[in-house]
Copies of this chain bind each other. A is one copy, B any other.
């Protein structure tokens, strides 16, 4: 699946930055053209110039987010050990949580997937497919195919859920605890 990365003007990127921050706090409905505009110092019509419809904006935010995460994770099939890759995955999630005190973008949007415009929901789905596939491939060196796939969805789900707990309870030890537990279990599985 080739994913050509769109290039945005500096102002469009500014808009995407603010939109992402807002969406990570309150979901798709938490952004409005007026708020975004005033946050970046233009009028709402100018935001429409860069992103004609709200759906376009939502799609762009999610796509850019996914590409950023993918770039941070690197190739799941390179020479690193499965444990090293898993540690990196956890680090990426921790960074997402501590970044502006906000939860993973797709954690918020995933929960309200059925409420989103179909195009935006499709981008969110692609994010989760990408993440679970990456994790499955990262574990492929040490586990059977089906075991790696099962572990992958468990790991991604657990990390997402731990973020919800951390944000809802206002205590990011939940994410750290889950990461510790996950590492322990995966090490056990790899030893089998």
| A111-B164 contact given A178-B153, A181-B151, CB 8 Å threshold | yes
Q: CA of A160 to CA of B129 in the docked complex: distance in angstroms?
A: 18
* A81-125 to B contact mask, C-beta < 8 Å, 1/0: 000000000000000000001110011111111110000010011
| Interface flag for A188 (CB, 8 Å) | yes
In the assembled complex, the Cα of A128 lies from the Cα of B150 at a distance in Å of 26
Secondary structure dominating the interface of A: helix
Contacting residues of chain A (23-48) with chain B, CB-CB under 8 angstroms:
25-27, 29-30
- Asked if A60 is at the interface (CB within 8 A of a chain B CB), the reply is no
| Closest chain B residue to A115, Cβ basis | B26
Kindly state the separation between the CA atoms of A128 and B165 in the bound complex, as whole angstroms: 7
- Which residues from chain B contact A165 at a C-beta distance below 8 Å? 110, 128, 132, 153, 156-157, 160
- In the A-B complex, the 3 residue pairs with the closest CB atoms: A161-B161, A26-B115, A157-B161
Seen from chain A, the residues whose Cβ lies within 8 Å of a Cβ on chain B are 25-27, 29-30, 101-103, 106-115, 121, 124-125, 128-129, 132, 150-151, 153-154, 156-165, 167-170, 174, 177-178, 180-182, 185, 188
